[in-house]
Amino acid sequence: MVSPASPNPFELPETEERALVARLKSDDDTAYEEVVRRFGPRMLSVARRLLTQEQDAQDAVQDAFLSAFKSIHNFQGDAKLATWLHRIVVNAALMKLRSKRRKPESAIDDLLPKYHEDGHRRGNGDWRITHDTAVQTSEIREQVLAAIDQLPDLYREILMLRDIEELSTEEAAQQLEITEGAVKTRLHRARLALRESLDPFMRGESQ
């Protein structure tokens, strides 16, 4: 798996955040600029993980900021501002994905492991690369991201939300508007398909 998202380094001390939110609610233009400058890079990184096209990622961030600024008066401080913005940009990216579905859900079956009649999985042997090496090596990270991108969209979204963005099952279900049971089932199948896709490379068989 890809290394999950790290804690947000842009989070503000509580008193500073309260002051910034108050400025936002008073329509202070400099506060808007500060939020974009401080949180924009992190939000763009999130959008890029979910969207494959750079323009789509930038559009999602712009949509997220517009949504956030319109609803800032509803922000009660129950979560950190960074967390709130993270949720909004994830939702904006998901909305853009839904507008351009690429792969049918049934396509996941072609990517799942194949088994012999005796029940043993076809293909065996140990991966030549450990998990620690995988998350530290740019070549392998690229392979993992490329493999994730081959998944049908709903499975890709679930894998990204749960394993990369580290949303809970409940949060992922809410974002995707499906049941928690569906999240768990599809996440399991997505992980199986991802491992199957990466298996030749990780065992040193691909060129």
What are the tens digits of pLDDT across the range 2-26?
A: 444 444 455 788 899 999 999 999 9
Query: Does a structural domain hold residue 188?
Result: yes
What residue has token string 């392998």? Answer: 140
Residues 78 and 157 in one domain: no
Same domain as 59, residue 23: yes
- 159 with 188, same domain: the answer is yes
Its domain, for residue 52, covers: 14-98
Residue 9 belongs to some domain of the structure: no
Distance CA(92)–CA(87), nearest Å, equals: 9
Residue 4 lies in a domain: no
Q: What is the pTM (predicted TM-score) of this model?
A: 0.67
Is the separation of the CB atoms in 16 and 10 below 8 Å?
Answer: no
Q: How many whole angstroms separate alpha carbon 207 and alpha carbon 176? A: 37
Query: Do the domain assignments include residue 27?
Result: yes
Q: Are 90 and 110 members of one domain?
A: no
pLDDT at res. 199 = 79
Q: Is the pLDDT of residue 58 over 70?
A: yes
Digit-coded pLDDT (tens) for 79-97: 899 999 999 999 999 888 8
| Mean pLDDT, residues 64-71 | 96
Q: Tens digit of pLDDT for each residue in 116-144?
A: 555 555 554 444 444 455 555 666 677 77
The answer to whether position 121 is within a domain reads yes
Q: Is 5 inside any structural domain?
A: no
